[in-house]
A = this chain, B = another copy of it.
Amino acid sequence: MNGTPDLAFARKILAAQPFSALLGTRLVAFGDGEATLELDNREDLRQQYGYVHGGVLAYVAENAMAFAAGTASGNRPLTAGFTIDYVRPADGTSLLARARVVRAGRGLAVCRCDVVCVGPDGGETVCAVAQGTISFAPAAAAGRS
């Protein structure tokens, strides 16, 4: 493709991820090295103590960083790997994963992400922080999310 994708295009990519549809993820910001995903805190996303499962936080952080990287390249972002550290139990009414590019080169981008819980009153609390490496692949080679 020519140039970098816009929000409408990026939303089509997210809509084409059946797993993101299953979880109800929404792309609420996309551009200029940043992307934000949002997710309602549903009963079926929880672990045995009633908090959002750590795997959901990992999923949304990974996906947000791949989208953030996607703002910086016309090629397809594929996550090479990432790290997440959990800092508080995740509850509230929804989650936001705010990712931003630290540095994007031709072949790789490094991103950071904050995952925050949004309470019933709109208050935000950081529940996890992540850092990852996203590679850029030509269209034909893209296999990973």
Contact = CB atoms under 8 A, between A and B. Distances in A.
A85 B144 CA distance: 11
Q: Find the residue from A16, A47, A59, A62 having the highest chain B CB count within 10 A.
A: A47
Interface of A (DSSP majority class):
mixed
B53 A83 contact: no
A129 B144 contact: no
A2 interface: no
B48 A17 contact: yes
Contacts of A79: 54, 86
A53 B17 contact: yes
Number of copies: 4
Interface in A20-60: 20-22, 43-49, 51, 53-56, 58-60
A143 B80 contact: no
Contacts of A87: 102-103, 110
B56 A62 contact: no
Contacts of A84: 58, 81-82
Contact of A22 (B44, B83, B129): B44
A143 B89 contact: yes
A83 B82 contact: yes
Given A82-B83, A83-B131, A89-B144, 17 more contacts: A17-B48, A19-B45, A19-B46, A20-B47, A47-B145, A49-B142, A55-B60, A55-B63, A58-B59, A78-B86, A80-B86, A80-B108, A83-B83, A89-B143, A90-B144, A129-B131, A131-B131
